[in-house]
Structure 1
Amino acid sequence: MNISNLIKNTAAATVLFANVASFASDIDANADANDLAIKGYDTVAYFTMSKPVLGSPEFTSNYKNATFRFVSAANRDLFNTDKTKYAPQYGGYCAMGVAMNLKFDTDPTAWKIADGKLYLNLNKGTQKVWLKDVPGNLVTSEKNWPELKGLTAEEAKAKNG
């Protein structure tokens, strides 16, 4: 291998590593292949309209390398004033899954606001189980999340057998 190829390969590897590292730093955000959070639902609408509402590609904001959509500029602007208040807990992963020390995707229609925070669940069946002991599940989830958030769903599953 000549010096020119070595420099090119080293540069390419450095760029690749930087991209992977930047993704890994926000692995705690659940988004689809297009970086869309909550399957396009407006996270502010859960608070202001008390229901899940699909957002518009016209009104977006980014948080933790995920794109959030909103029904209006007003909702987007409200989100931008306090992203941690309006973003779903546990990066948008299933609250019951986090209580089980796992990361599951969510159904945006399986939701609840508890203590001023938005929680999503895998589906409505899982949500029924989670709702049986919200306070207890939250205590367990809060204990699990700091370590879990740095893992992929596959790593969490492998770790927990």
Structure 2
Amino acid sequence: MKTKISLLAALLMLGIASAQQNLNYRTKQFNLDKGVALSGYDPVSYFLKNPKEGSKTYVFTQDGVKYYFANAANLETFKKNPAAYEPQYGGWCAYAMGAKGEKVEVDPETYKIVEGKLYLFYNRLFNNTLTDWNKDESNLKKKADANWMKLVK
């Protein structure tokens, strides 16, 4: 009986350690501005084709990553299926991830929804990487997926 309890306790501790590693991974890998994803924009609002800044009134932390929402309805929508609304590549520039495997800042209002997933892009100083992404999206997406997996291992 003591052996079973000891084994159960060890498994519980291992599970806690694994969960903590997942939180650390996400907070280290995601593009967070002052601890908040998407520069404070509401992730659900992108899928409504109207990106809006969220409010500190409506906040939710998903596995260590904090999100703001424009309203209670969007917050509740996100809670039901967070994976459907979180940005790809941790919110870093999709083009840079595909072209060079680099984490590059984004303009939160320069985005594209592809197959139900949110992709963000750098857009400053006369350089809108969404334009370049659109020229070779299929190839860049494959490369970005592979590059992201290398970074997060």
Give the TM-score normalised by structure 1.
0.74
Partner of 2:142: 139
**In structure 2, what is the Cα distance between the partners aligned to 1:88 and 1:74?**
19
Residue 126 of structure 1 pairs with residue 129 of structure 2:
yes
Matches for 1:1-161 after TM superposition, within 5 Å: 23-24=24-25, 26-32=27-33, 34-48=34-48, 50-99=49-98, 100-123=100-123, 125-149=128-152
Alignment coverage as a number of residue pairs: 130
Q: Which runs of 5+ in 2 are unaligned?
A: 1-19
Query: What is the DSSP-based 3-state SS (H/G/I as helix, E as strand, rest coil) of the residue aligned with 2:120?
Result: strand
Kindly indicate whether the alpha-carbon contact (under 8 Å) linking 2:104 and 2:122 is maintained by their aligned counterparts in 1: yes
Shift of residue 78, structure 1, vs aligned partner: 0.7
**In structure 2, what is the Cα distance between the partners aligned to 1:144 and 1:96?**
11
Partner of 2:16: none
Q: Which sits farther off after the overlay, 121-130 or 98-107?
A: 121-130
Amino acid at match of 1:62: T
**In structure 1, what is the Cα distance between the partners aligned to 2:27 and 2:36?**
14
Q: Give percent identity, aligned residues only.
A: 33
**In structure 2, what is the Cα distance between the partners aligned to 1:69 and 1:41?**
6
**In structure 2, what is the Cα distance between the partners aligned to 1:78 and 1:118?**
15
Q: Which runs of 5+ in 1 are unaligned?
A: 1-18, 151-161
Shift of residue 24, structure 1, vs aligned partner: 4.5
**In structure 1, what is the Cα distance between the partners aligned to 2:23 and 2:64?**
9
Query: What is the DSSP-based 3-state SS (H/G/I as helix, E as strand, rest coil) of the residue aligned with 1:144?
Result: helix
Once the two structures are superposed, residues 112-141 of structure 1 have per-residue CA deviations (whole angstroms, 9 ceiling, x without a partner) of 000010000111611111111111111111
Pairwise CA RMSD: 2.0
Kindly indicate whether the alpha-carbon contact (under 8 Å) linking 2:41 and 2:69 is maintained by their aligned counterparts in 1: yes
Kindly indicate whether the alpha-carbon contact (under 8 Å) linking 1:29 and 1:65 is maintained by their aligned counterparts in 2: no
Once the two structures are superposed, residues 97-125 of structure 1 have per-residue CA deviations (whole angstroms, 9 ceiling, x without a partner) of 11121111111111000001000011161
